[in-house]
Amino acid sequence: MKNLFIIFITFLFVACIGSSSSSTSNAQVNSSYAYVTSGSTFKVIDISDLSNIQEKSSINTSSSFKVSVSDGKAYVSQFGPSDAYVSIIDISNPNSLTLLADIPKSASFGRVSDMYIEGNTAFVSDEYKGLHILDISNNTFAVQALAGVDAMSLTKIDDILYLIHQGVADGLQKFDVSTATSPQSGIINTIDVNVYSYPTSTETLHSIVEHDVNNVYVINIQNEKFVKLDASTLVNLGELEIDGYATAMIISGDYAYITTKVATQTFLMNSNFDGVKMINLNSMTIVDTYTLTNANGASVYDNKLYVTDSLGLHVFDISAGNLNHLTTFAQGAGNSIALGQ
């Protein structure tokens, strides 16, 4: 299968130690380390000194493709049908990782498309099984509530969860989750988000949702549109054409950062850009682009944008309102990225 899960992002995660993303753990309150999935490996990368980026440790995974981090743990989703739904990894010691638990796929758990963590509660969109609201204390994934089917991306503002899913009508829907065990469905916008999922070995093709508190933003995979919606009413406030297969989205300040790459199923796409795009949310214009190779994940901290692709972890200075490439760390190549202390 933004924010992975933004991840992706994102796809498809964003844990709530910062802002939400299609990968719901992409914009963090601190960043000494980057956590990167790359299929058979989950890696911890020290980014505290950009002149001397180092891989600190890694742990074997079968098909890791999305990651969220929260409270000293990484929640790593796996793609393969016989692999774990989510692997929970202790990252409290960046020099030595420990697998705490593998949550298996099951009749309830199909494949993660996005995740948002808040304390002991995880909000998970599942591309086959819908929205899960889960108790993750004691390293378990105890189901508290379910909603919708074929859920592809989510983001959260206070007590309101925004979910792209199939249901009575396909689209973007609001849920009141002030009582986590009893989500209340609300407004739905049947914007053509196309929740169709095209699986590959590391991700799936689907639309992504993110927010900047006042507005929510959707990458519409069907017609390659970046759409701005009022967070309260879900009224369309504007849209912008983008090119390519969207793999992640992160919003920071007045800008969105979207990674796209060449679509495997080209009949779904009008054109294909492989790289990252920086979009001004006020003017809804693309202000800068940077070409990459199989761009997959994005995360922001302290005026720096971190992007993963098949060639490495790329770091950009975004303080001047453009994409100023600073460095590339080849060992940081991967599918998804989250930041943390």
| Residue 128, both tokens | 């086959």
Domain span at 218: 18-340
Q: Is 270 exposed, middle or buried (0-12, 13-18, 19+ CB in 10 A)?
A: exposed
Residue 8 belongs to some domain of the structure: no
Cβ–Cβ under 8 Å, residues 297 and 7: yes
List own/partner pairs for 80-86 with CB under 8 A and 24 or more apart: 81/105, 85/109, 85/111, 85/112, 85/141, 86/112, 86/141
CATH code of 330's domain: 2.130.10.10
How many domains would you assign to the chain? 1
Residue 6 belongs to some domain of the structure: no
Could you read off the pLDDT of 216-228 as tens digits, one per residue? 999 877 777 899 9
Q: Which residues of the chain have pLDDT under 50?
A: 1-29, 266-267
Q: What is the pLDDT of residue 329?
A: 98
Residue 59 belongs to some domain of the structure: yes
Look at residue 41 and give its three-state secondary structure. strand
Could you read off the pLDDT of 219-261 as tens digits, one per residue? 877 777 899 999 999 999 999 988 877 889 999 999 999 998 8
Would you list the DSSP string of 215-253? EEEEEETTTTEEEEEETTT--EEEEEE--SEEEEEEEET
Residue 315 belongs to some domain of the structure: yes
Residue 2 belongs to some domain of the structure: no
Residue 5 belongs to some domain of the structure: no
pTM for this model (two decimals): 0.89
Cβ–Cβ under 8 Å, residues 331 and 341: no
Q: Which residues contact 224 (CB under 8 A, 6 or more apart)?
A: 241, 242, 243, 244, 269, 270, 271
